[in-house]
Amino acid sequence: MKLALLGFGNVGRALLNLLERRLGQHPFRVVGIHTSRQGTLICPEGIAAPPTLGPRMATVEEFLDAARADILAELTSLNPESGEPAISHIRAAFARGMHAVSANKGPVAFAYRELADEAARGGLRFLHESATMDGTPVYNLVRHCLPGVRVLGFAGALNSTTKIIIDAMERGLGFEEGIEEARRLGVTEADAGFDIEGWDSACKAAALANVFMDARTTPQQVDRKGISRLTPEKLAELRAKGKTVALISRGRATPQGVKLRVRAEVLDRTDVLASMRGTSNLLEIETDLMGTIGVFALNPGVDQTAYGVYSDLLEIARHSTMNRPEG
Ligand SMILES: NC(=O)c1ccc[n+]([C@@H]2O[C@H](COP(=O)([O-])OP(=O)(O)OC[C@H]3O[C@@H](n4cnc5c(N)ncnc54)[C@H](OP(=O)(O)O)[C@@H]3O)[C@@H](O)[C@H]2O)c1
């Protein structure tokens, strides 16, 4: 199956490398790469790493028309205000009969229901495993392993930057030094305020609620407060009482609809939600038939994000094979 990569940063590069490492074990061939500044490359025979991109095509539509791929991998940067232009990229792919996978959480956080319906109308798939926990199976877990279950709520420690800042402050460092540490580790968005003020956590909460609970919500509708008022002194005080703080994304089904909240919560140090450090993350899922279950990842990195995209691609390939008419 032919793949078009839109965005070729950390995840795009890791994905191309992963596809090369697994050559012969999958049916994929990258036939096009397009980015906003690096340029464009179309190669129907397949692109090898590291690629040299040529002049940039004028529009994403022109790129998709030239690539003639079966699947679009949407790997561009997140726009936390609207999810665009990634949503339009995916719509442009559907309009050309292409499936779409997204590591970008924007489309899932802002337009999941519309995109899922649009894909279904065209007999296409829209998958997004890497959008929330760096490739750790959360969407696949519910879709494949919990048939017939209703998700009633969730709670997740899903933002790395704030964990690193809190950890640094618990070691006596200042807030700014914590931000610097997160920057050095390469986990902070260009604008650290996006993590600190809870927008990243709100995007993840909206994405989870849209997929698990059909919430049809957006990050702006999440009741959100970040960690900017935390101080080393406050954390030392809590530590003396056996407590700590973590930025938690919560969702809950109520008779009035799905309620979403992001807060710097005071937790017992023994609480499982307080146990994640650095880029490690954890999600608890409360269900009607299976009680509360959880999934965690220890120190995931960009290779795990690329794996999440790869797992989506494999699912599309498996599905396409199953649906192919015999003859
Ligand atoms: N890094 C991770 O481990 C991770 C984990 C989970 C999810 N994600 C998500 O995955 C996506 C990619 O992450 P990343 O780390 O690879 O980001 P990145 O290194 O910043 O790369 C983003 C890429 O998108 C391209 N781009 C941005 N806007 C574009 C547009 N309008 N049209 C075409 N190309 C565009 C950039 O082009 P130029 O190169 O030309 O600037 C760049 O190649 C993001 O949405 C991120 O939130 C990443």
pLDDT by 10s per residue, the chain, length 327: 999 999 999 999 999 999 999 999 999 999 999 999 999 999 999 999 999 999 999 999 999 999 999 999 999 999 999 999 999 999 999 999 999 999 999 999 999 999 999 999 999 999 999 999 999 999 999 999 999 999 999 999 999 999 999 999 999 999 999 999 999 988 887 789 999 999 999 999 999 999 999 999 999 999 999 999 999 999 999 999 999 999 999 999 999 999 999 999 999 999 999 999 999 999 999 999 999 999 999 999 999 999 999 999 999 999 887 776 554
The string of DSSP letters for 194-244 reads HHHTTHHHHHHHHHHHHHHH-----GGGSEE--STT--HHHHHHHHHTTEE
Helix (H, G, I), strand (E, B) or coil at 15: helix
CA 210 – ligand 1 centroid, Å: 22
Residue 308 CA: nearest ligand 1 atom is 6
Residue 6 beta carbon below 6 angstroms from any ligand 1 atom: yes
CA 12 – ligand 1 centroid, Å: 8
Residue 85 CA: nearest ligand 1 atom is 31
Residue 38 CA: nearest ligand 1 atom is 40
Q: How far apart are CA 165 and CA 232, in angstroms?
A: 10
**pTM of the full structure:** 0.96
Residue 202 beta carbon below 6 angstroms from any ligand 1 atom: no
Which candidate, 105, 150, 106, places its Cα nearest to that of 129? 105
CA 103 – ligand 1 centroid, Å: 9
Residue 35 beta carbon below 6 angstroms from any ligand 1 atom: yes
Residue 87 beta carbon below 6 angstroms from any ligand 1 atom: no
CA-nearest residue, atom 41 of ligand 1: 37
Helix (H, G, I), strand (E, B) or coil at 251: strand
Report the first-to-last Cα separation within the chain, whole angstroms. 19
CA 217 – ligand 1 centroid, Å: 23
The residues pairing with 295 across neighbouring beta strands, listed in sequence order, are: 283
CA 94 – ligand 1 centroid, Å: 20
Residue 75 beta carbon below 6 angstroms from any ligand 1 atom: yes
Q: How far apart are CA 28 and CA 3, in angstroms?
A: 7
Residue 11 beta carbon below 6 angstroms from any ligand 1 atom: yes
DSSP 8-state class, residue 274: G
